[in-house]
Amino acid sequence: MALADLLERTGCHVTVLADRCAGCQECVVRCPTGALHIEPERWVARADDAACVGCRQCVQTCPFSAIVVEGPLRAGQRASLPPLHPGSTEGGTSEVRPGFSSLAEAQAEAARCLQCPDPTCVRGCPAHNDIPGFIAAVAGGDLEGAQEILRRTTVMPDICSRVCDQALQCEGACTWSLAGGTPVAIGLLERFVADNVPVPPPAAGPDGSKLSVAVVGSGPAGIGAAFELVASGAQVTVYEADDEPGGLLRWGIPAFTLPLEVSGRPWRQLLQAGVSLRCGAKVGPEDLDELLQQHDALVLCHGAGLPLSLPVPGAGLPGVEDATSFLKRGKAALVEGKALPDFVELAARPGAGRPVVLVVGAGNTAMDVARTARRLGARPICVDWMDRRFAPVRPDELEEAEAEGVEVRFSTTLRALQELDGRVGRALLARTAQHRADERPQVEKGPGDWQAVDAVVMAMGYRTDPALASALPGTPLRREAPGLADRRWQASGILAVTSPRFARGRPVGQLALGRESALAAAGLPLRERTWVAGDALVGPSTVVEAMAQGRRAAQAVLRSQPRRAGPPGGLRASRVLVAYESRGGHTRQAAELVSRELAASGATVATLPLERAGLAELADCDLLVVGTWVEGLVLARVGPAKATRRWLAGLPLLPGKSVAIFCTYGVSPKATLALMRRALEAKAATVTCEAAFGHRDLSEAGLAKLAAFAHQAQGSGHGQLPEHRQPPEHQGAYVRALSAPVSSPMASAPAADDA
């Protein structure tokens, strides 16, 4: 049968290249429709075309490029809901973007979800919402169940579903998007759940410890942290510089995008749950130590509220303001049904028409400014020096703004402002050229053009307070995942497609990996008893990203249980990471023996080679144990293995993190432990104990030394070596097996071998 005839009959055709297929079953495990199985005679994959929907997951996950899928995507038509106000919206504050109007509409969209076994949409979501889970509940008509699923990972589904740029997150990472099609409308489904089932308040949990935590900032990151902390019984005090809580949610997002009833919901619930809110309390770097004296822990969630400005002649003229101040004034005026006084004065001038507001920038902030100005009766003109093809603005926001009467001029920049009648009156504009997304626009030569203006708003985005940033070394962090992604990410298929069309050609997999590294960093303190999240950690970030980091930082505080007076005596680490570098095998043996001893005392222990111990693993442990072998000639330079030195140098700051170190050696450890200790102390970690193990210490007779080290590391011995417990019978066999001779590539050299 010809391929064209086959595709016409089945819709899809799957070809398995038998000479490439290794029978690894990755495609079988990840196919959401059961269209693939392993042929037992040849042990290669075989496809059932009738069951294939063309999602290409098998193509993206096959490590040997052994599968080809031809034919269309059988994805169904995505729901399309046009804006509610495509025309004039002057004076309006009602919500522009509609949601599903009925359960039947939501269920029809939910039916498009493939319920993927390894859902890439979850990896694309900064909060890691169980997207297939809540969508399945919607499909079954169980909205309460869907809300309960969302509550496990997000405290702002009503807000995030309205303001998230889903195309670069969950929807851009949807299987249908990665296959070149249109994804499931995840944001609309999340909004339908939140609009029809109230978002539950934080349920205060019992906690006799009454941990006292200060949260600086009441925006998305602060909300996420406060919800998590108060739900665990902590005493939470939030310090906010403004006179009202909410941060960007309150003043930075117009009501026609995020209704006041929705944006104010989290703080109404937090105050009812007992969170103490102190508005008008600006926190500077000089206040951090005092806050730590008053509280057990500090979570810094101050946002990026300082606007960027273009330094051009005339930027200080009356009538020129920043986006923050304009959005605050404009939002308040619209809510109160009033006009801006300066707009009234401008309109009252003889022969004046609508005030012309020049908005410098054409990103999402600029669209908010321009659409607000339009509703206040002005004629907004946005200028941005980037080419329209490469501008970072959300396409839907740009379309909505232009439909409402906003004039947007891309490839145009502001060169100067000129005074007229005591305030800004003219703007000199110049054309720019940009040929690639990674290319800086170039200003074209020429005199430029003058544009009459009545007001100018600088709306190019925001930055964090440099004063507080100076007190947080290493911030803002770059959202980058160092090295190769682990097998779980690679096998999921999210990294296989570098530029999905729906995601505006952006690399959603790499973006998700970068967010993942920042999320892990939020779980590590940057100063003693101090965690940082959201804009304060990574610079301007999305609402959902900041909320997720705030929750992660709060979870780290709750796990660590810091105290102003220090941890109570005899506190044992419950989560331990044993990370080792081993070449010949002796260090691995020592690490496994130490891990076994720690686990026997009740700790949860993860034992990993150094290259697999990343930010997420560091953030998730109470105690870090680092082991290395000794490298170098005994008569010359002896120290930690090169791989260990590189790993130690690449560590983030670990203030207050308890670390135990050990090395294994063949002849002499010399200064190995001292070098490791100095490297860790340079990262602000606390080295609690250290030990060097020779070959005979790895035998059953030498197990007592390893056990003593493990007990000291865990803090149960108060500095004294505890009496060694005799291992159970099976442990003796285990020790003998590990103590078998191990060949070393350096065994015959006069050097310290891998111990």
Residue 747 has pLDDT above 60, yes or no: no
What is the distance of C-alpha 429 from the center of its chain?
38
Cβ contacts of 126-130, under 8 Å, gap ≥ 24: 126/169, 126/512, 126/515, 126/519, 126/542, 126/544, 126/545, 126/548, 127/153, 127/154, 127/160, 127/544, 127/547, 127/548, 127/551, 128/153, 128/548, 129/153, 129/154, 129/170, 129/190
The percent of residues in the chain predicted with pLDDT above 70, rounded, is 90
Average pLDDT, rounded, for the chain: 87
Residue 147 has pLDDT above 80, yes or no: yes
Residue 731 has pLDDT above 50, yes or no: no
Q: What is the pLDDT of residue 488?
A: 85
Residue 47 has pLDDT above 90, yes or no: yes
| Residue scoring higher pLDDT (679 or 718) | 679
Q: Binning pLDDT at 50, 70 and 90, where does residue 177 land?
A: very high
List of residues 6+ apart from 663 with CB closer than 8 A: 587, 627, 628, 629, 630, 640, 669, 672, 673, 676, 692, 693, 755
3-class DSSP state of 105 = helix
Tell me the mean pLDDT in the region 674-695. Answer: 91
pLDDT tens column, 432-455 = 999 988 899 999 998 999 999 999
Q: What is the pLDDT of residue 187?
A: 97
Q: What is the pLDDT of residue 726?
A: 33
Distance CA 516, CA 498 (A): 17
| Residue scoring higher pLDDT (695 or 226) | 226
Most confidently predicted of 79-93, 472-486, 499-513, 718-732: 499-513
pLDDT tens column, 569-584 = 444 567 899 999 998 8
- CATH 3.30.70.20 placement within the chain: 3-70
| Phi–psi pair at 651, nearest 5 degrees | -65, 150
Residue 9 has pLDDT above 70, yes or no: no
Q: Domain 98-200+487-522: give its CATH superfamily.
A: Alpha-helical ferredoxin (1.10.1060.10)
Q: What is the 3-state secondary structure (H, E, C) of 372-435?
A: HHHHCCCEEEEEECCCCCCCCCCHHHHHHHHHCCCEEEECEEEEEEEEECCEEEEEEEEEEECC
Token pair recorded at residue 133: 């889970």
- DSSP structural state of residue 51: G
Cβ pair 751, 635 in contact under 8 A: no
The residue count of the chain comes to 755
Of the candidates 571, 604, 544, 512, which has an alpha carbon nearest to the alpha carbon of residue 219?
544
- The pTM of this model reads 0.86
Residue 501 has pLDDT above 90, yes or no: yes
- CATH 3.50.50.60 placement within the chain: 212-305+471-475+526-560, 320-463
Tell me the mean pLDDT in the region 396-425. Answer: 93
Q: What is the pLDDT of residue 482?
A: 67
Q: What is the pLDDT of residue 421?
A: 87
| Residue scoring higher pLDDT (450 or 632) | 450
Residue 715 has pLDDT above 80, yes or no: no
Q: What is the pLDDT of residue 650?
A: 85
Cβ pair 201, 522 in contact under 8 A: no
Tell me the mean pLDDT in the region 360-366. Answer: 92
Q: What is the pLDDT of residue 349?
A: 82
Residue 722 has pLDDT above 90, yes or no: no
- CATH 3.40.50.360 placement within the chain: 575-738
Q: Binning pLDDT at 50, 70 and 90, where does residue 464 land?
A: confident
Residue 264 has pLDDT above 90, yes or no: yes
Tell me the mean pLDDT in the region 307-316. Answer: 89
Tell me the mean pLDDT in the region 662-688. Answer: 91
Q: What is the pLDDT of residue 392?
A: 86
| Residue scoring higher pLDDT (568 or 430) | 430
| CATH, range 575-738 | 3.40.50.360
| CATH, range 320-463 | 3.50.50.60
pLDDT tens column, 189-243 = 999 999 999 999 997 666 556 899 999 999 999 999 999 999 999 999 999 999 9
Task: Classify domain 212-305+471-475+526-560 at the CATH topology level.
Answer: FAD/NAD(P)-binding domain (3.50.50)
Q: What is the 3-state secondary structure (H, E, C) of 516-555?
A: HHHHHHCCCCCECCEEECCHHHHCCCCHHHHHHHHHHHHH
Residue 416 has pLDDT above 70, yes or no: yes
In whole angstroms, how far apart are CA 257 and each of 156, 184, 354, 367, 750? 15, 21, 24, 11, 71
Between β-strands 13-16 and 67-70, what pairing exists: parallel, antiparallel or unpaired? antiparallel
Low-confidence winner among 19-33, 366-380, 532-546, 590-604 (lowest mean pLDDT): 590-604
Distance CA 597, CA 384 (A): 62
* Domain 3-70 = CATH 3.40.50.1820: no
